[in-house]
Structure 1
Amino acid sequence: MSESGAVLPWLVIRQDDNGNHYRVGRYATRDEAQQIADSLDTSGPEQLYWVERVGQPAT
């Protein structure tokens, strides 16, 4: 839970060309997170974006 009291259990993760992982943002729903990941996949340099739930290991 964040300071505002909102629960944001979904993460968008980015992997760069060197294999480093970065958290892009946290979101309330999987759909919201997936929309962000999809929009980032189509812009800028070729990076890998995916959605995962907080506390759930990447697959």
Structure 2
Amino acid sequence: MATQRDWCVKRLDDNGNQFVVRAGLSRAEAERLALDYQAHGHKQSYWACRQQK
């Protein structure tokens, strides 16, 4: 089975706005990238989620 690349990393900024940081990722890639961003101690929140169709 092929890896689905329908995951993305989103960011929530200080004003409550959500942005897609990166898209077209596998679940593992998205989760790893979100953890990496979170580890940098930014004020923003990052998380992995499936892209809406």
Whether TM exceeds 0.5 here: the answer is: yes
Task: Specify which structure has the bigger relative contact order, considering alpha-carbon pairs within 8 angstroms and separated by 6 or more residues.
Answer: 2
Q: Report the identity percentage.
A: 36
TM-score relative to the length of structure 2: 0.78
Q: Does 1:18 align with 2:19?
A: no
Q: Could you say which structure has the larger radius of gyration?
A: 1
* Structure with the larger strand share: 2
CA contact (8 A) 2:5 2:27 kept: no
Unaligned stretches of 5+ residues in structure 2? none
* Structure with the larger helix share: 2
RMSD of aligned Cα (Å) = 1.8
Aligned to 1:45, the other structure's residue is in SS state: coil
CA distance in 2, matches of 1:53, 1:30: 8
Unaligned stretches of 5+ residues in structure 1? 1-6
